[in-house]
Amino acid sequence: MQDQFGRTIEYLRLSVTDRCNLRCRYCMPEEGVTGLSHSDVLRYEEMLRVAAAACRLGIRKVRVTGGEPLVRRGIVNFIAQLAALPEKPEITLTTNGMLLAEQAEALKAAGLSRVNVSLDTMRPERFKEITLRSGLEQVLAGIEAAEKVGLLPIKLNVIPFVDFNDDEIVDFARLTLEHPWDVRFIEFMPISSDLDYASRDGLSMDAVEARLRTTLGALVALPYQRTSGPAHMYRLPGAKGRIGLIPSVSGHFCGDCNRLRVMADGRVRGCLFDNHETDLKSILRDGGDDQALEDLLLAAACAKPEKHQINGKDFTTPNRRMHGIGG
Ligand code: SAM
Ligand code: SF4
């Protein structure tokens, strides 16, 4: 499947719920969200039809996300069904890790390849401050369990904020000395302008790199690998793991974008920042056949904009929050 700019689309991000068991202050309002109603959310069999159509069109990797995907009941069985699709796509998961310890073994057995765990701090009080819940221990246990069952490599996603958790950048980077993990720093993106952290400054990846070089010295740049997506990868000398820097705002990687995003209500976005969406639910529920579904997915791919306009003068924040799009 190609878009109108010649990019090959082979990566599907599939959000299975807009709900979450944390309240990260940059992602969700404290009181939670009214959320999609039960009937608005695609049933698993509908999502599977979408994923199957997408795989026939050339999708090779499906990332299950949310909200928090592990809060949706039946998620393990759904992942097993995704992994069993004839094209055998790689199935990955982005999670906050809260329910990972109890599900890691079953997820691995279901065919999940690996997990990305989002963790912005390793200090319990700060964890509570940013997520408005306790649970750091649970997340750490989740990471340990994922490693034990072989959901590898573990990727940790960290968003550094000025004067909030930027004093932990070096601690996070040092984790790679002892663990074969990818610790990935991601620039905070201008989404959800109504939330607490919207006005906080995220650190640019140039600033993160400078901080790491000043404190830790040599940082060896690694050759580009497609599996690392938009991350620039580095290794500290002798480290078991790697450090990734993802300049989501300051970088220009739209030219290599290979993604489509299907949200829990069955709408497809070609770009996080583009409010244009293609609705699949009516086809799914009104007896549309597989050809009609594939045609809509192709149309969604064709509608992908050439690049985001974050730094442009006409930029407005997306009309959905991150927990609703899936990151
Ligand atoms: N709940 C899961 C989790 O937190 O990993 C999956 C969904 S969450 C929306 C996916 C990712 O989006 C998380 O890594 C989160 O930190 C990130 N995220 C949320 N809001 C963001 C923002 N404004 N800029 C950059 N990343 C953001
Ligand atoms: Fe939930 Fe993930 Fe958003 Fe945090 S970032 S509130 S864990 S969806």
Q: Where are the domains of the chain?
A: 11-325
Q: Best mutation site among 116, 159, 161 for ligand 1, i.e. most ligand atoms within 8 A of its Cβ?
A: 159
Which residue type occupies 160?
P
Q: What is the DSSP string of 121-165?
A: -S-HHHHHHHHSS--HHHHHHHHHHHHHHT--S-EEEE--BTTTT
Q: How far is the CA of 22 from the centre of ligand 2 (A)?
A: 6
Q: Considering the domain 11-325 in this protein, what is its CATH number?
A: 3.20.20.70
Q: How far is the CA of 311 from the centre of ligand 2 (A)?
A: 25
User: Is the pLDDT confidence value at 199 over 80?
Assistant: no
Ligand 1-lining residues (CB < 6 angstroms):
20, 26-27, 65-66, 68, 94-96, 118, 157, 159, 186, 188-189, 191, 322-323, 326-327
Which residue type occupies 171?
D
* Tens-digit pLDDT profile for residues 94-130: 999 999 999 999 999 999 999 999 999 999 999 999 9
* Residue 278 near residue 300, CB atoms below 8 Å: yes
SS3 call for 213: helix
Q: How far is the CA of 326 from the centre of ligand 1 (A)?
A: 7
pTM for this entry? 0.96
Q: How far is the CA of 184 from the centre of ligand 1 (A)?
A: 13
List of residues 6+ apart from 16 with CB closer than 8 A: 47, 64, 65, 66, 67, 69, 72, 75, 78, 264
* Residue 116 near residue 153, CB atoms below 8 Å: no
Q: How far is the CA of 289 from the centre of ligand 1 (A)?
A: 34
* Residue 300 near residue 260, CB atoms below 8 Å: yes
- Mean pLDDT for 248-258 is 88
Residue 229 pLDDT: 81
* Tens-digit pLDDT profile for residues 308-323: 878 777 777 788 888 9
| Rounded Cα gap, residues 55 and 88, in angstroms | 9
